[in-house]
Structure 1
């Protein structure tokens, strides 16, 4: 694995790219564009952290993350793409898909959660579905985050020892180790059928998470035909003179205890 991108350089470049994402979002909103970004890849490949950095400074009323739970019994009786279609963006919206309809080509295939008939139907219908989206004017970008087996296992062990991130591990996640080759074959077959000219796959090498985030965001900005939109000038008005209002006594309300002050006293902290 190559040396990690220096932290100071990473943080400086990330902030610049995130500022451009804010400008891109303004263009999407003003132009009425519709953008869908799909994040797929192996478990612990860095999809979630990349989405977090993309979303960090964006308006959640314009840009939203879609991360669907396990399909319900009702979902299983519907057309496979139906539950995803309802989450597609309207004009002026961006949707970031933390996994997507490609669950069927990956985990469902490998773990036996779908039949072979359902799987083959997906491989046939996915390119058709995506061509329809693009033909209707949706900008569709698909990213596959790739991680080596050694780095993946290191990240799994790190999560296991971290109580703040242990929730990220499940039995299905750990099958990524025991079924590494099955997932590799499933990915190759998926790419063969769904890497289409209208919506190609873009692979993100992510053994170095810092570099992978920078590379992915820079690429996203290069693939959306956005331009800088002038911001409306906003002026903060002067505060009018007081008109005799008096706040009710604080004793009448339920206030949150000043836990911060208690911590400062306990630790003897100071700026």
Structure 2
């Protein structure tokens, strides 16, 4: 069975993506934290904090601390620390390079990858050796905005943040020839999948874990009016591939991070355009709310 590696830039929805997997009985073999929603120190600490809240011993390693060629770009969307300003004691973390750890794993074992952050870490991995990607069975990417419907219009101009942060890395990954399932804003911005005040009001806050979730999501709802479950929905693509409808093709990325899908049945990229709401409710939303 292929190992599962999760690559994150832990803000609020990354935190719930990790929890979605664990609550569905899937424990990543290790997690790589990279910059994106916040700087690397924050995303590393945030990721470790989530594993502690879950009481799961999941190794957390570090990935890319900046885009390939551009300066880092941080938005204060998830709070100053990237985790809704949730306060906790900072963690001691091992100084293992997750890119090298993933490289060594791929020498001998098949791997599935879920990435809910900018694609820099994977682009750096691919630059180490041409043949190292042969043991990657599939990659699930949360990213892109393809204008396949009214929701796929971008959240940073015409682009989605993860792709906008490092478009050069995204282009490299999407054109690697690996089987890639892309979960874009076209799915995740559908208001049927967002969390609102009513959901928070129904939540039972009776444990450290539920208090943690409540505080994170309440911050996002209060600040932004709703909370979009981008990364947990991407995790669902690993749990149940049949939950989505996909278009097969090739993806290109322009210098501003805008993604374009060219339909091609021989393409290696599958772009989701709809999600079964009943499967979402059962495997994601009902775990938390």
| Fold conserved between structures, TM > 0.5 | no
Quick one: higher RCO (CA 8 Å, sep 6+), 1 or 2?
1
More helix, by proportion: 1
Q: TM-score, normalised by structure 1?
A: 0.36
More strand, by proportion: 2
Q: Tell me which structure has the larger Cα radius of gyration.
A: 1
